[in-house]
C-alpha cells in the first residue's frame, strides 16, 4: 500500500506540474509581420563570422533558440521559445513519471525503459502539436489568400496603382493574412526600407507559401517592366481555386474510404460469416 500511495502521489505531482506549466505558457495568438521581420534581422548572423565546427553546432544554444523562434512564428504562437521549451520539458517529465509509475511492479531496467519512452513520447507529442499548428496556419492563410486576390483584381479593374489597390483591399478585409500584408505595406513606405515585393518574398519563404512568392514576382515585374498586374493576379487566383477544388475532391475521397473500409470490415465480414456458417458446418459433417 505505501508503494501504491507513492506512485499515485508521483503521478498527481507530475500532472500538477504539467498543468501549471500549461497555465504559464498561455494561449496562442497570431504573430504580426513587423515583429517577425525584427526577429529575422536579429537572427541573421554577422557578416564575416567564422564557420562553426560540428561540436559547436551541436552545442549552439543561440542557433537552436533562433530555429525555435522561427517555428513558433510560423505556428502563429506569440510565445517566447523559453516558455515553449519549458512546457515541453514539463510535459515530458510528467510522461516519464507516468511511464516509471506504470512499470513500478517490473524490474528496475524495465522501469527505466518505460521512463525513457515516456520522456520521448512527451517531446514527440509537443513536436507534433507544433508541426500541426504550423500546417494549420499555412492552410488557413492559403484559404484567406484566394478571396483577397479576387478582391484585388476588382480593385485593379477600377484603376490606380497595384500597391494602393492592395492597401485598399487589406483595409477592408478582416483576417490574419490581410493584417500582415497591411503591416508589410506600411513598413515598405518608410524611407530607406526594403520594397514591398522583397518583404513579401521573405514573408512567403518564412511561411512556405509559394502563392505569395508568385504575387511578389507579379508585383516586381510590374514595377520593373511596367507590365499589367490584373491578368497575372487573376490567373493566380484561378490556379489557387482549382488547387483548392482538387484538394477538396481528394479529401472527399479519403473521407469516403474512411467510411467504407470500417463498414466493410465491421458489417460485411460478420454477414458473410453468418451466411457461410451453415454451409461450412454441413461440409464439416459430411467430411467427418
Q: Are residues 10 and 132 in the same domain?
A: yes
Q: Are residues 70 and 160 in the same domain?
A: no
Q: Are residues 163 and 117 in the same domain?
A: no
Q: Are residues 207 and 90 in the same domain?
A: no
Evaluate whether residue 254 is within a structural domain.
no
Q: Are 100 and 115 in contact (CB under 8 A)?
A: yes
Q: Which of 15-24, 89-98, 124-133, 207-216 has the lowest mean pLDDT?
A: 15-24
Q: Are residues 132 and 80 in the same domain?
A: yes
Q: Which of 73-82, 108-117, 205-214, 275-284 has the lowest mean pLDDT?
A: 108-117
Evaluate whether residue 251 is within a structural domain.
no
**For residue 193, is it left (φ>0), alpha (ψ between -120 and 50) or beta?**
beta
Evaluate whether residue 153 is within a structural domain.
yes
Q: In the chain, pLDDT over 70 holds for what percent of residues?
A: 74
Q: Determine the structural domain holding residue 64 and report its residue range.
A: 2-40+60-136
Q: How far is CA 123 from CA 14, 56, 130, 183, in A?
A: 15, 23, 11, 35
Name the domain count of the chain: 2
Q: Are residues 92 and 159 in the same domain?
A: no
Evaluate whether residue 27 is within a structural domain.
yes
Q: Are 123 and 92 in contact (CB under 8 A)?
A: yes
Name the residue with cell 513598413.
187
Q: How do residues 60-75 score in pLDDT, each as one tens digit?
A: 666 777 788 788 888 8
- pLDDT higher than threshold 60 for residue 58: no
**Mean pLDDT of the 192-219 span:** 87
More confident of the two residues 256 and 23: 256
**Mean pLDDT of the 271-287 span:** 79
Q: Are residues 117 and 187 in the same domain?
A: no
Phi, psi of 209 (to 5 degrees): -115, 95
Q: Are residues 34 and 88 in the same domain?
A: yes
Evaluate whether residue 201 is within a structural domain.
yes
Domain final residue pick, 136, 152, 177: 136
Q: Are 110 and 137 in contact (CB under 8 A)?
A: no
Domain final residue pick, 136, 157, 175: 136
Q: Are residues 29 and 122 in the same domain?
A: yes
Highest mean pLDDT among 15-19, 111-115, 139-143: 139-143
More confident of the two residues 190 and 39: 190
Predicted confidence band of residue 157 (pLDDT cuts 50, 70, 90):
confident
CA distance 115 to 97: 6
Evaluate whether residue 66 is within a structural domain.
yes
Q: In the chain, pLDDT over 90 holds for what percent of residues?
A: 0
Q: E strands, the chain, where?
A: none
Q: Which of 204, 221, 188 is nearest to 145 (CA)?
A: 204
Evaluate whether residue 194 is within a structural domain.
yes
Q: Are residues 107 and 71 in the same domain?
A: yes
Q: Are residues 25 and 125 in the same domain?
A: yes
Domain final residue pick, 83, 110, 136: 136
Evaluate whether residue 148 is within a structural domain.
yes
Q: Are residues 26 and 95 in the same domain?
A: yes
Q: Over the chain, what is the mean pLDDT?
A: 76
Q: How do residues 127-150 score in pLDDT, each as one tens digit?
A: 888 888 888 888 888 888 988 988
Amino acid at each position: 500500500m505505501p508503494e501504491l500511495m507513492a506512485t499515485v502521489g508521483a503521478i498527481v505531482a507530475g500532472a500538477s506540474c504539467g498543468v501549471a506549466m500549461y497555465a504559464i505558457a498561455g494561449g496562442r495568438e497570431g504573430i504580426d509581420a513587423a515583429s517577425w521581420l525584427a526577429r529575422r534581422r536579429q537572427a541573421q548572423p554577422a557578416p564575416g563570422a567564422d564557420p562553426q565546427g560540428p561540436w559547436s553546432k551541436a552545442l549552439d544554444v543561440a542557433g537552436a533558440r533562433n530555429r525555435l523562434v522561427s517555428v513558433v512564428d510560423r505556428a502563429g504562437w506569440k510565445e517566447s521559445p523559453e516558455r515553449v521549451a519549458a512546457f515541453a520539458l514539463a510535459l515530458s517529465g510528467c510522461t516519464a513519471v507516468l511511464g516509471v509509475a506504470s512499470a513500478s511492479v517490473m524490474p528496475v531496467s524495465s522501469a527505466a525503459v518505460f521512463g525513457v519512452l515516456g520522456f520521448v513520447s512527451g517531446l514527440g507529442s509537443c513536436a507534433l502539436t507544433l508541426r500541426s499548428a504550423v500546417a494549420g496556419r499555412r492552410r488557413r492563410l492559403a484559404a484567406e489568400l484566394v478571396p483577397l486576390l479576387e478582391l484585388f483584381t476588382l480593385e485593379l479593374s477600377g484603376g490606380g496603382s497595384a500597391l494602393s489597390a492592395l492597401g485598399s483591399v487589406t483595409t477592408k478585409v478582416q483576417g490574419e493574412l490581410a493584417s500582415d500584408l497591411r503591416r508589410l505595406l506600411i513598413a515598405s513606405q518608410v524611407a530607406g526600407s526594403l520594397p514591398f515585393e522583397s518583404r513579401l518574398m521573405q514573408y512567403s519563404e518564412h511561411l512556405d507559401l509559394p502563392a505569395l512568392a508568385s504575387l511578389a514576382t507579379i508585383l516586381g515585374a510590374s514595377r520593373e517592366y511596367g507590365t499589367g498586374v490584373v491578368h497575372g493576379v487573376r490567373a493566380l487566383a484561378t490556379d489557387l481555386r482549382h488547387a483548392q477544388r482538387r484538394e477538396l475532391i481528394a479529401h472527399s475521397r479519403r473521407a469516403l474510404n474512411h467510411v467504407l473500409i470500417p463498414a466493410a470490415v465491421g458489417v460485411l465480414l460478420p454477414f458473410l460469416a453468418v451466411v457461410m456458417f451453415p454451409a461450412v458446418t454441413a461440409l464439416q459433417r459430411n467430411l467427418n
